[in-house]
Amino acid sequence: MGVLRSTQSLQAEVDELHAALLGGGGHGAAAGWRRSAGAKRAPGAGAGGAEARAVCVTGGISFVGFAVVDRLLRHGYTVRLALETQEDVDKLREMEMFGEDGRDGVWTVMASVMDPESLRRAFDGCAGVFHTSAFVDPGGISGYTKHMARLEAQAAERVMEACVRTESVRKCVFTSSLLACVWRQNYPHDRRFPTIIDENCWSDESFCRDNKLWFALGKTAAEKAAWRAARGRDLKLVTICPALVTGPGFRRRNSTASIAYLKGARAMLADGLLATANVETVAEAHVRAYEAMGDNTAGGRYICYDHVVQRPEEFDELERQLGLPGGAAAAAAQGAGDNDRPARFELCKQKLARLMSARRRCTYDTYYSVAFD
């Protein structure tokens, strides 16, 4: 689903992406994208059969989506970008990222995540889908609204339905969030040891709603909708739940989503739940999970983070990197987390660590064993 951006930020974002391409060297983004006069559209649905290494990425010009596309190209995949707005097309044309007729492995196609039929046409001929896009409303300090949360859940369901209805698609990697795991009213807690937060944990939608944690609500509801839509269908689904995504350019390219993520951050900090994930780690997790799904060595949910923020000074640095004026980031971190909580928690990413280090060691018998409670 297209990221809603202010027109004032468009040129700055283009400049940031263009600089990343030019500075990528022989192994980075620049190695995967060539210059040309403009973006080419994908061929029609009837042009050839499904290719095993052809995939479609929604939100491919978002902060996470762009990194996923770059990583896929490095792994030798042919990528189809599902774009939603003319603004996205104009940005790509201005960046001059593509080679003629998609010879560099990238095509573009217009599709709305609220329209399953347009999605089906975009997905047709692809073996897999990476749903990385997300709604972000630039209005307001939180960057995310209750309405956005509802739309995100609806779009997730429609993307899954389009995947199921597209004969060539067999696998989907869905970008969720760590926030879909951490927010609950009451956790059972042994005061001698921290409570472990892993892939079996789900955020409480009522708690998120009561405390106006709209970003967490949207991610939780969207991921649950995806699992419901995929359950029992001929589609393998994996969800990646990254922490606050950082990396070069995240202030400019991901600021509204970051501010939305940080609502309630002081509570997460106090409870050991505020973490960050470099965008390159997140992208690699997506591709590793996708490849491991082919032989049933990946399934279910994966928590993804690099670093747990433990000191207030680190949180202050996050605020500084986001470029927020004094007091603004603190306001964004208000809400559910103002009261001190005696319970302490510990994040666990062992499942993803096993996948990233030796993904063929263990096999998951089913893809649909995800429980919501």
Active site residues: 219
Alpha-carbon gap, residue 250 to 278, rounded angstroms: 10
Beta bridge partners of 346: 196
C-alpha to C-alpha distances, 140 to 144, 213, 328, nearest whole angstrom:
8, 14, 11
Alpha-carbon gap, residue 35 to 92, rounded angstroms: 10
Alpha-carbon gap, residue 193 to 121, rounded angstroms: 51
The answer to whether residues 342 and 191 touch, using CB atoms and an 8 Å cutoff, is yes
Query: Following CA atoms 187, 243, 221, 283 in sequence, which dihedral angle do they give, to the nearest 10 degrees?
Result: -140
Residue 8 CB partners (closer than 8 Å, separation 6+): none
Alpha-carbon gap, residue 22 to 19, rounded angstroms: 5
Residue 279 CB partners (closer than 8 Å, separation 6+): 63, 64, 67, 245, 246, 247, 250
SS3 category, 244: strand
The answer to whether residues 146 and 214 touch, using CB atoms and an 8 Å cutoff, is yes
Residue that is written with structure tokens 């921290």 in the block: 194
| CB environment 159-183: b (16+ within 10 A), e (fewer) | bbbbbbbbebbbbbbbbbbbbbbbb
Task: Record the tokens describing residue 21, joined without a space.
Answer: 């391409």
The answer to whether residues 91 and 10 touch, using CB atoms and an 8 Å cutoff, is yes
Q: Which of 221, 124, 115, 121 is nearest to 158 (CA)?
A: 115
Q: What's the gap between Cα 292 and its chain centre?
A: 18
